[in-house]
A and B are shown apart, each in its own frame.
Chain A
Amino acid sequence: MHRIKEIYKWLEARLQLEGPLKDAALHPVPRNTASWWYVFGSAAFTLLFLQIVTGILLALVYVPSAGEAWSSLNVLNHQLELGWFLRAMHGWGSNFMVAVVLVHMAQVFMFGSYKYPRELTWVLGVFLLLMTLGMAFTGQVLRFDQDAYWGLGIGASITSRIPIVGGSLVHLLLGGPIIAGATLSRFFALHVFVVPGSMLLFASLHVWMVLKLGINEWPMPGRIVRRSTYLQEYHDLTHKEGAPFVPVAFWKDVIFSGAVIAAVAVCAFVFGPYGPSGQPDPNIVQTVPKPDFFFLWIYAALAYLPPSMETPFILIAPVIGIAILLGLPFYASEGEKSWYRRPVAVIVLCTVAISWGVLTHLATFTPWSPHMNAWSGDPVPPRYLHDATPLVRQGAVVFQSKQCRNCHAVGGVGGQRGPTLDSIATRMTEDQMIRQVLQGGGNMPAYGKNLPPPEVTALVTFLETLHPPNEPPAVDGSQKEVQTSQIVASSGSKK
């Protein structure tokens, strides 16, 4: 024990870290900030370290070459003891990190913490968010499977739309004209050195400022931030009724960070690692690539944009969005912090959160995209065929073999690009269906040239049977009139 003390003294005499560390640990914080709302920043920092540790372990096995990256991930998944768990920890750690960073940002925004004198802390935080998303994207690329390949292709084509320099930027990004070995090396360098290095630097500065400027006090309606008085007010708040950071607030940070790591481990254990999905070979066209969870909203937004809006949206919206985030603390550096007095902020946050949620939800089942295998892989529900006539059966075969199912779901399965057809007969008469099949309309192509008359007849006969048992099919009101008048006419002519 004595020996250890000696060594400590020797080190401390040279490093002199005890003072600053004690100051940092015991600096007074407003008593009401020792709240569960203030734990997200430290959790994000903890997750950053989890990612670094798991990332280093992965880098021991991962081969960043186009030919071997995919198989080295399969080695990790199946041949190395707990390799799959390591990959799962890193993948879920990434998900949790993006989530925690977003929640942290929303909380900081709601609490008005970005106001004077913490503008720069917020600005660095914005960059840290962008870097976290950058890490998530480059990480998805390193997985180098079909999702990565096509995701990178989309990233490259987005970049290529930048006027004048687009082409050169793509070349720089991919390390050549195509996605190949050089691309993977570049993304490896970005994911392993460039972005994490900058992140560590930015995150350290971010934490440094939190220590120096003090943690934001709990916002109270009517306690208005003014440049001239804020520093004195905060000083009074922390020194008169404050409490030392350790242990009054710190234990909640520790518990929450521990809980987050445990949650990552549970998710990793239960849900396992991400992919890798199929090989990154552009010859394999039987694939439905999708971005990772936190980019799904962009995927949905781009899918729903009309083509003429794509380029402006892709090139202008991010610039405006980032400019707004960076400009926010300078535009609103004084004033109310409490959400009770900031209705616009509350509405903005709710709108962003709901839009994000809706777009993400839509992207999980991509209703805009035909299901290219539905025609051959999704059986016609047997209940629609049980009492069917031979012609109706043939109609069902036509429905499948002509790939109607790829866009139209039946029995809850199939594409959702067009309307579901389970009760189509109640909505359209036979005539209307024939016209729709032959001429198309709405979003549907015309099939008149592809379906000979007996196929159309069989198909429509099948569709005519699709109605709930208690709801009769739609009929054209005039048909009865026409038939009656024909009968009257024929009986008249017989006389």
Chain B
Amino acid sequence: MMPPPILVSAACVFILLLSGCNDAPGYPKTSAEVLRPQDQLSFDILYRQNCSACHGADGQNGAAIDLGNPEYQALVDDRSLRKWISGGMPGTQMPAFAISMGGTLTDSQIDAIVLGMRNTWSQRAVLGGRNAPPYAQDQKGDALRGKEQYNTDCASCHRASKQQVTSPDYLALVSDQALRSIIIAGRPDIGHPDWRGDKPGSPLSAQDVTDIVAYLGSSRSATPGQPYRRDR
């Protein structure tokens, strides 16, 4: 056995070493749980807990629209983002997250998410000096013209049964605004071009986009989702 003086001095050295040790592996981290849930304002944590399941871990490769797409961030305004997060997006699966609407997020948490998305994913001059069609629809759409436009600009990819977007089952689950956002901003994570890339050299005009959405809207069915349809 070690003689007592050595033991005592070893213990002292151990304690001394420890006392400089706020980065010891066991030093308690300020864990997320210690905050009251409503006081959590970290974008990373809020996004991971509330948004990542549908919109993807880094704002891409999710099932729903890729919020990490800088073009989408350039397209959409803060007010709309806040509106969709708090109240949900009618006609889609996007649920309401504001406490006042039955969710769990406070207004300042929603602000933190909007600000965080801007800080993380916005890029300057992402639209390359070209004006994208506006986020919100500002004209009346012409479904007939939209059908022609669809056939020239979209059908080359969407004709294949695998990428069918004219199926009423699909259209029953997306709103016009959601369709419009994807047509304009694209989904780079899954290879969907933006409004400039559908037919290189001739970008879609605001009217074109509105017409295509009107055409898709006219393909909706009053009784979607019937089983055993073979067209989907």
Contacts and interface: CB of A to CB of B under 8 A. Distances in A.
Contact of A457 (B1, B57, B165, B227): B227
B203 to A, nearest CB: 23
Contacts of B104: 286
Nearest to B49: A377
Contact of B1 (A254, A287, A376): A254
B62 A74 contact: no
A278 B32 CA distance: 9
Interface in B9-39: 14-15, 18-19, 24-28, 30-31, 33-37
B81 interface: no
Nearest to B48: A377
B62 A379 contact: yes
Q: Is the interface of A mostly helix, strand, loop or mixed?
A: helix
A478 to B, nearest CB: 13
Interface of A: 74, 77-78, 81-82, 84-85, 88, 146, 251, 254, 265, 268-273, 276-279, 281, 284, 286-287, 373-380, 382, 385-387, 389-391, 393-394, 396-402, 405, 430, 434, 452-458, 461
Given A385-B62, A456-B225, 10 more contacts: A82-B18, A269-B26, A271-B26, A373-B49, A390-B165, A393-B64, A397-B63, A430-B227, A453-B224, A455-B173
A240 B173 CA distance: 90
B25 A269 contact: yes
Contact of A400 (B27, B28, B36, B63): B63
Given A269-B18, A278-B33, A400 B50 contact: no
B152 interface: no
A389 B53 contact: no
Contact of B63 (A286, A396, A434): A396
B63 A380 contact: yes
Interface string B169-187: 1101110000000000000
Contacts of A402: 93
B37 A286 contact: yes
Q: Is the interface of B mostly helix, strand, loop or mixed?
A: loop
23 contacts: A74-B34, A270-B24, A273-B28, A277-B31, A278-B34, A279-B36, A284-B36, A376-B52, A378-B53, A385-B62, A387-B162, A389-B163, A389-B232, A390-B170, A396-B54, A397-B54, A434-B227, A454-B224, A455-B93, A455-B173, A457-B224, A457-B226, A457-B232
A293 to B, nearest CB: 16
B213 interface: no
Pairs A-B, 4 closest by C-beta atoms: A272-B26, A453-B225, A454-B225, A396-B63
A455 B62 contact: no
B40 to A, nearest CB: 10
A376 B18 contact: no
A402 B225 CA distance: 17
B24 A269 contact: yes
Interface string B140-171: 00000000000000000000001111011110
B197 interface: no
Interface in B182-232: 190, 223-227, 232
A314 B94 CA distance: 44
Contact of A389 (B1, B61, B162): B162
Nearest to B26: A272
Contacts of A389: 162-164, 232
Interface of B: 1, 14-15, 18-19, 24-28, 30-31, 33-37, 48-54, 56-57, 61-64, 92-95, 104, 162-165, 167-170, 172-174, 190, 223-227, 232
B62 A380 contact: yes
Most buried by A among B1, B167, B170: B170
A76 B121 CA distance: 39
Contacts of B15: 82
Nearest to B173: A394
B31 A401 contact: no
Given A279-B36, A286-B37, A398 B232 contact: no
A77 B18 CA distance: 14
A391 B170 contact: yes
Contacts of B172: 452, 454
A397 B28 contact: no
Contact of A268 (B26, B49, B224): B26
Contact of A377 (B30, B53, B95, B223): B53
Contacts of B25: 269-272
A393 B63 contact: yes
A281 B226 contact: no
A397 B93 CA distance: 7
A390 B190 CA distance: 11
Nearest to A87: B28
Contact of B169 (A81, A374, A400, A458): A458
Contacts of A251: 1
B52 A379 contact: yes
Contacts of B170: 390-391, 394, 458
A85 B24 CA distance: 10
